[in-house]
């Protein structure tokens, strides 16, 4: 066997990824590469990826957290302290184009699995390291998403002004760091294809968090303004928040004065669009409390779905607040097909979010059971030459 996947397809079908990562940021990045055809080999300690025990919820006896970030991978169990297993992981890396790892900084050096050790023999290797706070002064700080949400300032922006700071409802910065990692890996692959040179890619959740907060971090860096917690209000736009209706809240997200005028028309309150307090966005943000009272009085006779239909037809951004089940149902109703199935058991998985006109993602492999592909991967090693400095197998 010369390839662990017969007849591989997809734009990354010639790429092999050694996924030495665990939990979310690294596994998520490797999964997205696998969706695009890369052969991804997930290397786990005998105790398994920690997320296998992040439960509830479960599907059967498997953690849905683990399932969320590990499709399109083959799995092998290796203990780096065992000489034979260490030799096997090196053989996998010798046949890989990309390594993804998120070990504690410096932990892999003692096994000769750090970038300088590997690049000496494989200068074309693309080696991706993900940490919480970098490999310098922050190397000793455990890199958990919740800690990053706190230290980056995100939590200071979430929640009501008179309540405690609130975390995001999922591991936001793990996911964002995984997405940054994918773009970095693809850029490095392109560079390698042009020059033959690999490189080390270092990402950390802290820098990813500060970059992802975009306007809020730039408000301080460029304007000296420290953003504050405003609940569901927006610091620069109004109306841009939930508003009470006859049954449940409705998000109204007006982004410009034209949309505000259309909102006023649907609410049969054209006078608000010409009121000096509300005609321009800068004034609306100043008079947001008075504007809220006027809008909620106009919304009171009907429910959120009624206003959603009417305002959407008029081109006013708005939305009822769904739970996750409602979100998936809404996307399904729009024909966005948010759920795919994968594997012989038709396991549900959330679809890859990009539509490609020529190279669509594929759903080939359900997330591996612990050590599921040990024998298959060892057979692949035995029949596949290591890659040489040009990135090709020889």
118/127 Cα distance (integer angstroms):
9
DSSP track, 52-74: GG--SSEETTEEHHHHTT--S-E
Q: In what order do the strands lie in the sheet with 126-131?
A: 74-77, 39-44, 16-19, 98-101, 126-131, 199-204
CB 237 within 8 A of CB 163: no
240/87 Cα distance (integer angstroms):
57
377/18 Cα distance (integer angstroms):
12
The pairing of beta strand 16-19 with beta strand 98-101: parallel
DSSP track, 137-166: TTTTS---HHHHHHHHSGGGGSS-TTS---
Which residues are registered as beta bridge partners of 388? none
Type and span of the H or E element at 201: strand 199-204
The reply to whether 276 belongs to the active site is: no
What Rg value do the Cα atoms of the chain yield, rounded?
25
Q: Which residues of 149-173 are buried (b: 16+ CB within 10 A; e: fewer)?
A: bebbbbbbbbbeeeeeebeeeebbb
Among residues 15, 2, 4, the alpha carbon closest in space to that of 359 is found at 15
35, 49, 145, 174: the catalytic one is 174
Among residues 27, 24, 52, 57, the alpha carbon closest in space to that of 325 is found at 57
Among residues 70, 83, 67, the alpha carbon closest in space to that of 43 is found at 70
330/375 Cα distance (integer angstroms):
43
CB atoms within 10 A of CB 293: 9
Our separate counts of H helices and E strands in the chain read 15, 13
Token pair listed for 42: 């997930």
- Positions annotated as catalytic residues are 174
């Amino acid at each position: 066997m010369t390839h662990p996947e017969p007849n591989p397809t997809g734009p990354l079908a010639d790429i092999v990824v050694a996924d030495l990562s665990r939990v979310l940021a690294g596994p998520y990045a490797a999964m997205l590469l696998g969706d695009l055809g890369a052969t991804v080999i997930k290397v786990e300690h005998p105790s398994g990826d920690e997320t296998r025990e992040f439960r509830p919820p479960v599907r059967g006896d498997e953690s849905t957290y683990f399932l969320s970030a590990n499709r399109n991978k083959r799995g092998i169990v290796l203990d780096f302290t065992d000489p034979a297993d260490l030799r096997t992981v090196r053989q996998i890396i010798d046949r890989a184009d990309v390594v993804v790892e998120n070990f504690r900084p410096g932990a892999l050096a003692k096994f000769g699995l750090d970038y300088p050790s590997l690049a000496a023999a494989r200068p074309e290797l693309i080696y991706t390291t993900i940490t919480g706070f970098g490999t310098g002064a922050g190397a000793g700080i455990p890199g958990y998403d919740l800690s990053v949400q706190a230290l980056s300032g995100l939590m200071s922006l979430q929640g009501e002004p008179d309540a405690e700071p609130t975390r995001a409802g999922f591991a936001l910065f793990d996911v964002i760091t995984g997405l940054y990692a994918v773009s970095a890996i693809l850029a490095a692959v392109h560079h390698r294809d042009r020059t033959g040179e690999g490189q080390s890619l270092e990402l950390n959740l802290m820098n990813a968090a500060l970059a992802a907060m975009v306007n809020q971090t730039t408000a301080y860096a460029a304007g000296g303004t420290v953003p504050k917690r405003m609940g569901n209000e927006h610091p620069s736009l109004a109306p841009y928040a939930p508003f009470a209706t006859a049954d449940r809240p409705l998000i109204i997200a007006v982004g410009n004065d034209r949309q505000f005028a259309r909102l006023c028309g649907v609410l049969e309150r054209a006078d608000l669009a010409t009121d000096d307090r509300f005609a321009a966005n800068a004034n609306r943000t100043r008079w947001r409390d008075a504007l809220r009272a006027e809008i909620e009085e106009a919304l009171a006779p009907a429910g959120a779905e009624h206003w959603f239909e009417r305002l959407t037809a008029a081109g006013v951004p708005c939305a009822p607040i769904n739970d996750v089940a409602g979100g998936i149902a809404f996307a399904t109703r729009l024909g966005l097909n948010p759920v795919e199935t994968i594997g012989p058991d038709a396991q549900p998985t959330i679809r890859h979010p990009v539509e490609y006109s020529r190279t669509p993602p594929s759903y080939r492999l359900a997330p591996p059971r612990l050590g599921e592909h040990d024998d298959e991967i060892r057979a692949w090693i035995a029949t596949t030459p290591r890659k040489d400095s040009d990135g090709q197998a020889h």
